[in-house]
Amino acid sequence: MNLTNAVALITGGSSGIGFAIAKSLTEARARVAITGRDGKKLEQAAKALGAFPVQADAAVEADVLRTYAAVMKEFGDLDILINNAGIGTFKTLVDMDTAGFERVFATNVTGVMMMGREAAKIFVARDRGNIVNICSTAGLRGAPTGTAYYASKFAVRGMTECWRGELRKHNIRVMLVNPSEVVTDFFAANGLTQKVNESKLRGEEIAHAVRAALEMDDRGFIPELSVFATNPVD
């Protein structure tokens, strides 16, 4: 697709991978809306990007509906949804609490579903559109302490395949992008320590993959792609 003047909605766009994707799409002359829960951080990001901000929590249905109302009022259309917002909790099975488990699924699964559902309504009516779900290589295999986060990414991968089966007949491209470890504030925000060095991926690599997938002619699409660092050193 031609990204010039295309309207893109990116959840979790105020930092990390979401911010990098938003930057890449604005540089391609797309019109971009970003969401985030932290109002101050969101406004700063939107100003830096020249994007339209919507303070919202993807896990809250009223916020999801308000987001789409605001985007349609601002732009009058939608071409791309980037489902990027996500959180994590990392505990062993014996230490896993239901509140933490459900909080992860509320954002990473239910939130993704609600955002995708509202985008699909628009795209089916216009018989075209693009949904990109930012998943993770955590959705490809399990790991210790991954019960909540990894399982949520397996669920996103499964939903993506279901949407693809439903929506292809409406000329809607549904794509999944699986980043491996990326240097962002995700680790610190979830109480984890990340070793940072130049061998590890940055958000720019994921943004490059997303933009490249979107810019393919609408005749074709990339169902799923994973992005790994070439030779990461921990």
| pLDDT tens by residue, 106-162 | 999 999 999 999 999 999 999 999 999 999 999 999 999 999 999 999 999 999 999
Average pLDDT of the chain is 97
For 23-42, what is the mean pLDDT? 98
Q: One of 90, 105, 149, 163 is an active-site residue; which one? A: 149
Closest CA to 156 of 174, 171, 176, 129: 176
Active site residue 149: yes
Quick one: pLDDT band at residue 53, thresholds 50, 70, 90?
A: very high
Instruction: CATH number for 7-227: choose from 1.20.1260.10, 3.40.50.2300, 3.40.50.720, 3.40.50.970.
Output: 3.40.50.720
Q: Determine how β-strand 31-36 pairs with β-strand 80-83.
A: unpaired
Q: How many CA atoms lie within 13 A of 43 on its CB side?
A: 2
The model's pTM is 0.96
pLDDT digits (tens, 9 = 90+) for 168-178: 999 999 999 99
